[in-house]
Structure 1
Amino acid sequence: MARRKRHGRCFAAVLLTIGAPAWERAKADDRPVTRVATIPIPSASIFIAVDGSAERLVGMHPLSRSAIEEGVLGRMFPNARVINSSIAAGGADGFMPNVETLAMLDPDVVVQWGDRGDDIVAPLRNAGMHTALMRYGTEQFARDSLTLMGEIAGKPDKARALIAWREAVATEIAAKAAAMPDKRRLKVVYLQRASTGLVVAGANTYSDYYIRLVGGVNAAAELSGALAINAEQLAQWDPDVILLNGFEEQLTPRRIYDDPLLSGAKAAMERRVYKMPIGGYRWDPPSHENPLAWMWLAQLLYPDLFRYDLRKEIEESYQIVYGYRPSLSDIDSVLRLSVNGDARGYDRFTAVTPTPGHAP
């Protein structure tokens, strides 16, 4: 099947090379995996994407549920909205497993963080539950998580195709960005928290990875990890672009524009404050939709260099990953046009001419 020629890396061209997926994977006791519970926040959405269904997911973290409800995944898979989200105790940000609830759900496998200590793993082990551990925060860990979900779902080919898509897009973007002169590189700050206080992503964070991938300079690179800063520090960096996290649902660029100090920063003065999109999952942390996030950011920073038809990329990749053709309003929602629409350069993501036969 020939791909029509256009700028950018089409996911379809990658995924059409895979073989027929296996639907189930046998565990050590030879029973198929039919019931899965996921505690790490992104793992519910990643599993649904790899599996192409929410039918086998029986439990998730409450923040996984909020991402499904806020984004378009809940529209694609309405039954995902009613999956039990009380399997992790200790508050919305806690990862201590609620073993009593999990026992009631009787999962074949529970996915848990593998890099946050044994305290949150031991209760699962002691209860005799099959547990798969995932790590998080780097591009390699993101690929490993896809591999893990492919093994659990019995769909390793789907996972490999998603990884191949990442590799293709990252390679293409990195090649273009590498040729960019230093004087053109924009200073970017990603705010991991901004509603109350400011937390910035410094070096050795995933945000630092993709800011550098597309040719930007992380203005917070003098720091390591995610750290709290004050407004004075952010104003001193005077970034060209500010990215707002997708986790704080009520956060909008007004937070920056209305701040007495931050409103004088170059990013605010030039209306280059953007809230990260949310599709099948939030685009800012590692997930299966990161290639779309990289295209989005590359085009925002350097529209003359990166000319993706991002709306078409979303439409095509969603049909393949999820078996769902997003409507124009779905894509508007993914790109947060209602929040970002008046920001500089964001009109390039507005639908100009509806695709024939496309749902409004």
Structure 2
Amino acid sequence: MRLHLLVCTALFAPPLAAEPVTFTDHEGREVTLPAPAQRIASIPIPMASTLIAIDGATDRLVGMNPTAKSAIMEGILGQIFPEARDIPSDITAPNFIPNVEELARVNPELVIQWAGRGPDYIDPITNAGLNLMTIRYGSEELTREYMTMAATAMGRPERIAPLIEWRAEVQADMEARTAGLADEDRPSVLYLLRAMDNLRASGTENNYNAWYHMLAGGRNAAEDMVGGWADINVEQVATWNPDVIFLNSFEADLTLDRIMNDPILSLTNAAQSGRVYKMPLGGYRWDPPNQESPLTWMWTANLLHPDLFDYDLRAEMRTAYQVLYGHDLTDADIDEILWMDMQGGQANYAQFAAP
């Protein structure tokens, strides 16, 4: 993929001169900063690692969501940027309500918050006189928009175009390869956002996971479910009987045993055929939209249709990490990201092993 063209240029290109920047956020507000923001606090979970990737550094990130911090602590980003472990993560109370006292302490020039959630999420920030950028979440189009906003806010427009082009190129390639697939040739896929204390499944309404499963040649096992997400029971999973089950990477202690050792779930087509997988944890969790999403799509496609897709995922990961973070992945790094020790023996997974 063309992403390799970025390696020598975009990551280390100097930021533009300090001039005012203006853009429109996802609530339609015009955001004007006197100069590119040098201190940014990010309340939405995925944005912290996205900001690091766009800037190629952690210097501007002065506060983040605690769940974003846990991904850094648990994953490779904390190894690439060890200083990120010290960035405060108490700028938000539960449910993304801003902690104004902590925001004031870290003194951001820009605060990023979810759009469309009402005044309790927005007013404390604006009433404190802080600049605000709101983002919506859940589709590839929105992801590209908020990544572009972030690049603009940081004065790094030269970084974003190649990253968007990479996403578009991978998407177009996958769409072309699956264009002729009949419904009966698409394996049914169930993604579980929660699987330990309760089961929470992805529906089809405004659901990013369902979108890229379709992109990769699958179909949603829960396509008859109303809404984007729902709590379900094991009997419902047995009724759907998915061909493939993807487990989230948010629950740190979650392993394949949750499915393979369950008296009911172990009888599903997915378990019986060895097609149960845990989502990788890279620079961010590969489940939701983020800066590494094309890698998620390629990983998923290779698993769902090894007859149609033969991406050299390890090579793609090495290129992407050099571009996004200026980091050279080792084989051990890749094995850890992909959980090779845990799931290297699952169906079709040997293709990801080191040569």
- Same fold, TM exceeding 0.5? yes
Equivalent position of 1:51 in the other structure: 55
SS of 2:298 mapped into structure 1: helix
The yes-or-no answer on 1:105 pairing with 2:106 is yes
Equivalent position of 2:3 in the other structure: 11
- TM-score w.r.t. length of structure 1: 0.91
Equivalent position of 1:348 in the other structure: 351
Q: Contact 2:191/2:246 (CA < 8 Å) preserved in 1?
A: yes
Quote the sequence identity (%).
46
Equivalent position of 1:324 in the other structure: 327
The yes-or-no answer on 1:96 pairing with 2:97 is yes
Equivalent position of 2:310 in the other structure: 307
How far apart are the structure 2 equivalents of 1:316 and 1:95? Answer: 34
Shift, 1:180, TM fit: 2.2
Equivalent position of 1:229 in the other structure: 232
How far apart are the structure 1 equivalents of 2:353 and 2:36? Answer: 45
Shift, 1:227, TM fit: 0.5
The letter for the 1-side match of 2:321 is: Y
SS of 2:274 mapped into structure 1: coil
Q: Contact 1:244/1:273 (CA < 8 Å) preserved in 2?
A: yes
Equivalent position of 1:208 in the other structure: 210
Equivalent position of 2:254 in the other structure: 251
Shift, 1:34, TM fit: 1.3
User: Structure 2 matches for 1:1-360, cutoff 5 A?
Assistant: 9-13=1-5, 20=13, 22-23=15-16, 26=20, 28=32, 30-90=34-94, 94-204=95-205, 205-223=207-225, 224-352=227-355
Q: Contact 2:7/2:322 (CA < 8 Å) preserved in 1?
A: no
Q: Contact 2:41/2:112 (CA < 8 Å) preserved in 1?
A: yes
Equivalent position of 1:4 in the other structure: none
How many corresponding residue pairs? 341
How far apart are the structure 1 equivalents of 2:248 and 2:190? Answer: 11
How far apart are the structure 1 equivalents of 2:8 and 2:301? Answer: 26
Q: Contact 1:21/1:156 (CA < 8 Å) preserved in 2?
A: no
Q: Contact 2:196/2:258 (CA < 8 Å) preserved in 1?
A: yes
Shift, 1:284, TM fit: 0.8
Shift, 1:345, TM fit: 1.3
Shift, 1:10, TM fit: 4.2
Q: Contact 1:299/1:307 (CA < 8 Å) preserved in 2?
A: yes
Runs of 4+ in 1 over 3 A off after TM superposition: 13-21, 23-29
Shift, 1:182, TM fit: 3.0
Q: Classify 1:11/1:31 alpha carbon distance in 2 versus 1 (closer, same or farther; 3 Å).
A: closer
How far apart are the structure 2 equivalents of 1:78 and 1:136? Answer: 28
Give 5+ residue unaligned stretches, structure 1.
Answer: 1-8, 353-360
Q: Contact 1:146/1:159 (CA < 8 Å) preserved in 2?
A: yes
Shift, 1:302, TM fit: 0.8
